């Protein structure tokens, strides 16, 4: 049975003959807020337990810059192809949005100690040991030609059949394994890696990466003008009285008739008894939680859901020299320096003043790890040294920097879940999403095509809320 999750989000849960329930939701990120809102609107009693002092999870807006400037440590742009989150932003809560373009030909490619504007880049300007057939193509043409067999499958017509074939034929591949099998040279890999931010993804699922590439999720993006945290805060009028902040859940017990959720607030342990419990926090954090009644296959799925590392390092400058000196208003510079990606966000600027903010370093996976051992001040100092190699103006206009390593965040346990080879098509994924008795699971790991996106969290939330509302404990209508 298929579900129209967008219609359920818009219209609410349908009339049901199943009895109303008391439901504890663990976590006040986007999945927890959405599930709670739907269930409350349908007449159920909801209690949300959130360990932090804020809503939003990995939506985290930093507001410690001058004036009205801000920086998005977490989600900062929303694809137009994601209908659930776009409906919440634009129609449900009517939050003003603006474009967040990711490409600007005035930005730089800085490799091997040399920088060129994107518009002027060609592989023969650098030392890449590439074959003649590779050197004759632009980087975009080379990457497209290499993944053309997967493109052909998607363009056969029926999306569901094409998606099933992709999983059947290609889920066994990592991105690197596929590119190597298709004959790309090490020189081509060394060039494509920085240009397309692939090096942190090489050892993860080919199909997951390709789905984002084919859908061009970074091609049409918008940001929330007042800051991304406006989205979770928009739930406050509906749910704030049902949310307990500073409630650290450490155990969940369940019987055939009830579930008991234990949490700490201050030095006191408290317990809530309910009919159902929806766990929306990252699976990695469940390794520190006692949940009674989970079978070995469920624990295996929880243990093996991989959460990626990432960091963002923002800097404030006395002038927006990237605009005045270089004509850059958006996009990103890519480099093989430790900072890896420099983002010039249109979001978060305060045009009343000359000051500005930028992401001086945005790194994933092994690119993020060299920063983790450094103290905050040293992280900023090292990043400034790298940035000044590309933009000398940074030295004299630097004011301060702030750094967020998501791998060190106890509540997030990383920037988000990533699939590895063999994990999208086999029983592993079904074990990830299925409930166990009265404990349900809804987070951004519980969606096959939109993992680590807000959209994935919303889809999982809607499907679980529907199943609880309809009393479908032994069925899986939310399976995609």
The CATH number given to whatever domain includes residue 174 is 1.10.405.10
User: Do 329 and 298 sit in the same domain of this protein?
Assistant: no
* Domain interval for residue 325: 61-102+220-227+308-408
pLDDT at 480 over 70: no
Helical pair 159-170 and 206-215, crossing angle rounded to 10 deg: 150
Question: Global pTM?
Answer: 0.95
In whole angstroms, give the CA distance from residue 68 to residue 65. 7
Cα 338–chain centre separation: 22
User: Do 327 and 395 sit in the same domain of this protein?
Assistant: yes
The verdict on residue 419 lying in a domain is no
pLDDT at 382 over 90: yes
Residue in this structure with the two tokens 């049902």, named with its chain if needed: 242
User: Do 335 and 187 sit in the same domain of this protein?
Assistant: no
Q: CATH number, domain at 26?
A: 3.50.50.60
pLDDT in tens, 222-247: 999 999 999 999 999 999 999 999 99
In whole angstroms, give the CA distance from residue 457 to residue 396. 42
pLDDT at 157 over 80: no
CB atoms within 10 A of CB 84: 24
pLDDT in tens, 316-370: 999 999 999 999 999 999 999 999 999 999 999 999 999 999 999 999 999 999 9
Tokens of 164: 């099933």
User: Do 251 and 323 sit in the same domain of this protein?
Assistant: no
In whole angstroms, give the CA distance from residue 44 to residue 185. 58
Give the angle 285-288-290 at the CA atoms, nearest 5°: 115
What is the overall mean pLDDT for the chain? 95
User: Do 148 and 81 sit in the same domain of this protein?
Assistant: no
State in Å, rounded, how far the first CA of the chain is from the last one: 10
Q: How confident is the model at residue 90 (pLDDT cuts 50, 70, 90)?
A: very high
Residue in this structure with the two tokens 């990995």, named with its chain if needed: 58
User: Do 12 and 87 sit in the same domain of this protein?
Assistant: no
pLDDT at 158 over 90: no
Q: How confident is the model at residue 16 (pLDDT cuts 50, 70, 90)?
A: confident
Count of the separate structural domains present in the chain: 3
CA atoms within a 13 Å half-sphere pointing along the CA-CB vector of 397: 20
Nearest CA-CA partner of 411 in 61, 154, 28: 28
Residue 40 phi, psi dihedral angles, 5° rounding: -65, -45
Residue in this structure with the two tokens 């939680």, named with its chain if needed: 289
Residue 160 is predicted with a pLDDT of 87
The verdict on residue 151 lying in a domain is yes
CB contact at 8 A, 190 and 128 = yes
Tokens of 339: 């900072």
User: Do 301 and 316 sit in the same domain of this protein?
Assistant: no
User: Do 243 and 210 sit in the same domain of this protein?
Assistant: no
pLDDT in tens, 259-295: 999 999 999 999 999 999 999 999 999 999 999 999 9
Q: CATH number, domain at 92?
A: 3.90.660.10
Nearest CA-CA partner of 468 in 259, 298, 251, 238: 259
Residue 17 is predicted with a pLDDT of 83
DSSP 62-101: E--SSTT--EESS---EETT-HHHHHIIIIIS---EEE--
């Amino acid at each position: 049975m298929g579900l129209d999750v967008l219609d359920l989000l818009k219209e609410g849960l349908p009339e049901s003959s199943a009895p109303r329930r008391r439901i504890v939701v663990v976590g006040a990120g986007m999945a927890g807020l959405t599930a709670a809102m739907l269930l409350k609107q349908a007449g159920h009693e909801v209690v949300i337990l959130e360990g932090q002092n804020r809503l939003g999870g990995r939506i985290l807006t930093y507001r410690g810059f001058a004036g009205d400037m801000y920086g998005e440590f977490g989600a900062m742009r929303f694809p137009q192809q994601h209908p659930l989150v776009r409906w919440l932003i634009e129609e449900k809560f009517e939050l003003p949005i603006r474009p967040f373009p990711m490409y600007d030909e005035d930005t730089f490619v800085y490799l091997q100690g040399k920088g060129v504007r994107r518009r002027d880049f060609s592989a023969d300007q650098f030392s890449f040991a590439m074959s003649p057939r590779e050197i004759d193509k632009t980087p975009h043409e080379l990457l497209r030609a290499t993944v053309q067999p997967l493109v052909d499958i998607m363009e056969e017509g029926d999306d569901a059949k094409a998606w099933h074939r992709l999983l059947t034929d290609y889920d066994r591949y990592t991105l690197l394994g596929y590119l190597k099998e298709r004959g790309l040279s090490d020189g081509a890999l060394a060039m494509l890696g920085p240009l397309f931010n692939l090096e942190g993804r090489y050892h993860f699922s080919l199909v997951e990466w390709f789905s984002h590439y084919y859908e061009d999720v970074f091609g049409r993006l918008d940001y929330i003008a007042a800051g991304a945290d406006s989205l979770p805060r928009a739930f406050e009028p509906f749910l704030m009285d049902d949310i307990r902040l500073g409630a650290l859940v450490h155990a969940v017990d369940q019987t055939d008739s009830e579930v008991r959720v234990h949490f700490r607030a201050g030095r006191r342990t408290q317990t809530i008894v309910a009919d159902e419990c929806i766990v929306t926090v990252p699976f990695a954090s469940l390794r520190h939680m006692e949940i009674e009644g989970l079978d070995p296959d469920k624990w295996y799925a929880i243990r093996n859901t991989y959460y990626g590392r990432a960091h963002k390092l923002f800097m404030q400058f006395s002038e927006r020299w990237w605009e005045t000196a270089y004509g850059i208003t958006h996009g990103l510079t890519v480099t093989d320096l430790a900072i890896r990606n420099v983002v010039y966000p249109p979001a978060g600027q305060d045009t009343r003043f000359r000051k500005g903010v930028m992401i001086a370093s945005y790194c994933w996976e092994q690119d993020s790890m060299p920063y983790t051992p450094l103290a905050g001040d040293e992280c900023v100092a090292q990043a400034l040294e790298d940035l000044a190699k590309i933009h000398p103006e940074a030295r004299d206009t630097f004011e301060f920097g702030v750094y967020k390593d998501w791998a060190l965040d106890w509540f997030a346990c990383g920037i988000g879940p990533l699939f590895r080879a063999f994990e999208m098509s086999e029983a592993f994924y079904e074990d990830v999403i299925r409930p166990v008795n009265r404990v349900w699971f809804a987070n951004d790991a519980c969606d096959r095509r939109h993992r680590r996106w807000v959209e994935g969290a919303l889809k999982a939330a809607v499907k679980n809320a529907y199943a609880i509302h309809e009393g479908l404990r032994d069925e899986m209508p939310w399976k995609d």
